[in-house]
Amino acid sequence: MGTNETKTGGWRSNKWVRAAIPALLLHCSIGTVYCWSIFSQEIADYIGHTKGETEWAFSFAIFFLGMSAAFLGNVVEKDIHKSSLIATICFALGMAGTGFFIYYGGLPANKGKFLPLLGIYLCYGFIMGIGLGTGYLSPVKTLMLWFSDRKGLATGLAVAGFGAAKAIASPIMQAMLDGLGDGGIYKMFVILAGVYFVMMFVGHLLLKKPDGWHEPQTKAEGQSMFAVIKSKPITNYIGIWLMFYINITCGLALISQEKMIVKCIGLASFVGIISTVSAVFNAGGRLGFSAWADTMKDRNTIYKLIFILSIAFTAIVLLTSGIKNGAGNAVLIFFVLALIFIVNAGYGGGFSNVPTLLSDHYGMGNISAIHGLTLSAWAFAGLSGNQMAAWIVKKFGAEEQIAHTLADGTVEMITVNPTGYQYVLYATIALYILALIICLLMVKPTDKALEAKKAKAAK
């Protein structure tokens, strides 16, 4: 893979400048989609709609992220410069458009009308969703090419940027909302649209595959994405898709109820801190699990570990009724927080290991397209995870009032449904068990793992 740039050295052949830094610039920008909970209530109040109505903007964003990745994966495969430019324009345009429709919906004549809400769905959901999908995919294959000996670490680094974006941007966004005064919500979107456009455009300019790299000469070269997938038993790919989908669904189900669960165990004053720590675990899981998987003969082992840990800690919280009985009990609080942090880490680790797991099974040819198709699981999980948890909380248990003492000594009453949150865990543990079964039975060992097993047996 030697090239003139590689021989002469300099920043043009530096893998950190040409792959890692642009990947972080792209992913740290688009990852702010997960900051939605910071401002969703403010948007609803400003345009005169319910929070439930505005929540669909986030669900649409995740859905179109996955679907645009699935349908535009071939574009990414052929030209990362075109795809990263599409991502930059769509993400920034979607943010600016969201700001405009928030402003428009806040005008007295338009408050409560459907058009501003539809505009937010279109901008934050559809247009930003396209930017999310193409931006997420664009740096991944490039990273694996530059860091061919540590592919997991490289992709984990970028995807960790996507997870860490919430922890970095949340306090900044909150400060902007507090400091921009009346109309701060739409002003924030317009300002950040400009900031993220610059960040992503710089990433777009820097992003570059190694010069002289060519697809390996294999029988898969020149084949379509589906032909490459069919080169292995189709159940193998279906298994990867399903366990990826289940991991995201379970992660979103718990993460969407995280704040209320924390309040149930008597830590309402620490919701913001715990949310930041869980975001750090999310990012750390993306980097840590993928780097760990680099040391394994079969990368699928990392998913087995993720599912086993998630099942074990969910079972402990269920058996102890930790959410219902946790307030004032240090041991139960520890287990509930451990569950939140482990699920966040496993949720992130599931993302970062997918492209490398796919490349281990199907090679580097067409990997962007295959990865994009697999991200359709994220699209459907984005609709099912949050909505499943919300439905369970609504249908099971009963709301109750708990007292929370504020910093100034006053007491406020918080409405929670501890039984409903426990039932969410019954659903997620069943799904985690199903994912582990799929992981064990449907996803076969890679050729590399089989060769290592034969070599060990020969000794």
pLDDT digits (tens, 9 = 90+) for 28-76: 999 999 888 789 889 999 999 998 899 899 989 999 999 999 999 888 8
Q: Is residue 454 part of a domain?
A: no
Of 90-104, 126-140, 284-298, 405-419, least confident by mean pLDDT is 405-419
Question: Residue 237: which H helix or E strand, with range?
Answer: helix 234-256
What pLDDT is attached to residue 212? Answer: 67
| Rounded distance between C-alpha atoms, residue 55 and residue 41, angstroms | 9
| Rounded distance between C-alpha atoms, residue 369 and residue 60, angstroms | 22
Mean pLDDT for the chain overall: 89
pLDDT band at 3 (very low <50, low <70, confident <90, very high): very low
Question: Residue 190: which H helix or E strand, with range?
Answer: helix 184-206
pLDDT tens, 213-263? 665 544 445 577 888 898 889 999 999 999 999 999 999 999 889 988 999
229 in the same domain as 101: no
Q: Is residue 372 part of a domain?
A: yes
% the chain with pLDDT above 90: 62
Strand, helix or coil for residue 328: coil
366 in the same domain as 277: yes
Contact 316, 335 (CB under 8 A): yes
Which structural domain range is residue 195 located in?
A: 15-209
What pLDDT is attached to residue 92? Answer: 98
What pLDDT is attached to residue 9? Answer: 53
Q: Is residue 156 part of a domain?
A: yes
287 in the same domain as 183: no
Of 91-100, 186-195, 211-220, 328-337, least confident by mean pLDDT is 211-220
pLDDT band at 166 (very low <50, low <70, confident <90, very high): confident
| Rounded distance between C-alpha atoms, residue 392 and residue 428, angstroms | 11
286 in the same domain as 137: no
276 in the same domain as 239: yes
* CATH code assigned at 397: 1.20.1250.20
Q: Is residue 147 part of a domain?
A: yes
In 3D space, the residue among 327, 336, 247 whose CA is nearest the CA of residue 286 turns out to be: 247
| Rounded distance between C-alpha atoms, residue 336 and residue 404, angstroms | 19
Q: Is residue 354 part of a domain?
A: yes
Looking at the predicted structure, is the pLDDT value of residue 275 above 90?
A: no
290 in the same domain as 177: no
280 in the same domain as 149: no
Residues 6+ apart with CB under 8 A from 162: 27, 28, 30, 31, 136, 286, 351
Looking at the predicted structure, is the pLDDT value of residue 268 above 70?
A: yes
Q: How far is CA 366 from the centre of its chain?
A: 22
What pLDDT is attached to residue 323? Answer: 95
Q: Of the candidates 163, 182, 209, which is a domain's last residue?
A: 209
**What integer is the mean pLDDT of 79-98?**
96
| Rounded distance between C-alpha atoms, residue 274 and residue 267, angstroms | 9
What pLDDT is attached to residue 217? Answer: 45
Q: Is residue 146 part of a domain?
A: yes
Q: Of the candidates 209, 238, 272, which is a domain's last residue?
A: 209
Question: Residue 19: which H helix or E strand, with range?
Answer: none
